[in-house]
Structure 1
Amino acid sequence: MSSGPENHEGSSGSAEPTSHRPQKKQRSFLRELPVLIGVALVLSIVLQAFVFRVFLIPSESMEPTLHGCAGCTGDRIVVEKIGYRFGDPEPGDVVVFKGPDSWNTKYVSNRSDNVVVRGIQEVGSWVGLVPPDENDLVKRVIATGGQTVECCDDQGRVLVDGKPLDEPYIKMDFPFTPGTQTCDTELKSGRCFGPITVPEGHVWVMGDNRSNSADSRYHVDDEFQGTVPIDNIIGQARFIVLPPSRMGGIDAPDIQGN
């Protein structure tokens, strides 16, 4: 009869190591967690620095292609950085770039005056959680180095090397009425500019919302005649990722018909 309790005690003892196994796994995971977080942060920094980055559209200058306005939820876009390491921007590309000096007169730093908070913001910027402290802008490439750009022809279209562009993405522009308000009338159309010959290694950029975009046209008196150095270009805008209702690719049509 005594064998019953002994067997019971023995079975209880053999079950004891099994009951501790989940705790060992949990401890192992907790030890590995900082390593996993560190690896994830390093990967995020590398990807953000060399492959892609997410940017928020803060203004209406690229409507309706990219949505952004004061007091609303702007589009978040993925900007791909690799392509321009092997080739230059093409007319029709939507690009994000660091504003040249003359574009930055109204820029206000987004960093805190508090040293600790500013340090946290810098770390957040490295992993893409906080915007970088620079005037990053988004526009569409219209002309590249060596090309001459101006507006307008008799239909109010932008000309590059004397040829009108096909720009289906434009929905909002300044009035242009043949015989009443053109580039030759006393009251000129707001579309008119140029001609400007783009320096080599630069691009001429314009917003899709032509009547509400402080683009190359507004900086023709600076050292680059309003053009943007290719070295300032961060990458090409490829996708809208947020909000979900606007997810999709960003068109880069062949506007010069080459």
Structure 2
Amino acid sequence: MEQNVPGEPGQSHPDDGGATDGAHGAGAHGGHGAHAPEATALERFSSGVWSWGKEIITILAIALVLSFLIKTFLFRAFYIPSGSMENTLRIDDRIFVNLLVPEPFALKRGDVVVFKDTLGWLPPEQAKTGPFSWIGDVATFVGLAPDSSQQHLVKRVIGLPGDHVKCCDAAGKMTVNGAALTEPYLFPGASPSDTTFDVTVPAGHIWVMGDHRNNSEDSRAHQRDSGTGFVPISAVEGRAIVIAWPLNHVGILGNYPKVFANVPEPAGVTKGTSSGVVPTGK
């Protein structure tokens, strides 16, 4: 180019000298001067990416820790696989369970509770297969996915320790400590019970029933078949409080205090008695 030709008339020394010095400097110093801006930009880009990456990793780590702590001590998500609690809970519903019940907050009649199957009500769970089955287990463990384990059950608490639960009276209603219950949460058309029973709940246990009484293998069936109808309070994971999914069924799960408002407290907590559960329907 013209500015690189020595002695060119009209070529100003500052322009010529600047071009010549830049070229000479590049050769003399191994291109340090020419590549310095490029190296600085790369370093800045790398530093920015690393800083951004650290922030993302930190946020994710905090989110995982918080999710694990919430799932362990406050709330836990569960998946509903059956229709025993219809229409209160439907198949494939996702619910959140308050883990502060039954401790430090006490159970109440009418609570919808999730409890571990410590009595053998359910068949053994089959081992999960597949190369990526562990992903779901990890997500459940940290609280990012609802617990789909088949070794948990969800029912409504009808009787607390010491309660005398009986079905049915002359009007066809279930009674607790002699008080008749009008149960608005029952599945439409379902009777309070298709079996008769007369039990007293022992200390440290509860009597549970599904809202879809004609489609629920609950305390009635297991007390009749194996004498395991009384569920240990120690097996209760918590009280279900919210339906979180699907969106068209989102709602709060109440315990219907008016249903049990007239139920007197039991005279005393005993070891638990049962006069048997006699089929009258199925």
* TM-score after normalising by structure 1: 0.77
Corresponding position of 1:126: 141
Describe how 1:170-181 pairs up with structure 2 within 5 A.
170-172=186-188
- Once the two structures are TM-superposed, the CA of residue 150 in structure 1 deviates from its matched residue by 1.3
Q: Map Cα deviations across residues 23-50 of structure 1 (whole Å, 9 max, x no partner).
A: 5332202134333322222222111111
> Which of 145, 158, 183 matches 1:167?
183
> Which of 66, 77, 87 matches 1:43?
66
**Alpha-carbon separation, structure 2, partners of 1:227 and 1:52:** 25
**Alpha-carbon separation, structure 1, partners of 2:225 and 2:72:** 29
* Distance change (3 Å), C-alpha of 1:29 and 1:224: farther
5+ residue gaps in structure 1? Answer: 69-73, 177-189
Say whether 1:108 aligns with 2:125.
yes
Q: How many residues align?
A: 234
Letter in 1 for 2:48: K
> Which of 43, 57, 77 matches 1:34?
57
Describe how 1:161-240 pairs up with structure 2 within 5 A.
161-172=177-188, 191-221=194-224, 225-240=228-243
Which region of structure 1 is more displaced relative to structure 2, 224-233 or 53-62? 224-233
Q: Secondary structure at the match of 1:142?
A: strand
**Alpha-carbon separation, structure 2, partners of 1:167 and 1:117:** 44
Say whether 1:153 aligns with 2:165.
no
* Distance change (3 Å), C-alpha of 1:47 and 1:256: same
- Once the two structures are TM-superposed, the CA of residue 17 in structure 1 deviates from its matched residue by 6.6
**Alpha-carbon separation, structure 2, partners of 1:238 and 1:206:** 17
- Once the two structures are TM-superposed, the CA of residue 225 in structure 1 deviates from its matched residue by 4.3
Identity %: 36
**Alpha-carbon separation, structure 1, partners of 2:171 and 2:132:** 53
Q: Map Cα deviations across residues 183-234 of structure 1 (whole Å, 9 max, x no partner).
A: xxxxxxx623221110111110001111101110111147764011111000
Kept in 1: contact 2:77–2:147 (CA 8 A): no
**Alpha-carbon separation, structure 2, partners of 1:132 and 1:53:** 12
Kept in 1: contact 2:191–2:213 (CA 8 A): no
**Alpha-carbon separation, structure 1, partners of 2:204 and 2:225:** 16
**Alpha-carbon separation, structure 2, partners of 1:112 and 1:251:** 34
Corresponding position of 1:185: none
**Alpha-carbon separation, structure 1, partners of 2:148 and 2:210:** 22
- Once the two structures are TM-superposed, the CA of residue 160 in structure 1 deviates from its matched residue by 0.8
5+ residue gaps in structure 2? Answer: 1-11, 23-35, 263-282
* Distance change (3 Å), C-alpha of 1:37 and 1:175: closer
Corresponding position of 1:187: none
Q: Secondary structure at the match of 2:54?
A: helix
Corresponding position of 1:184: none
Q: Secondary structure at the match of 2:120?
A: helix
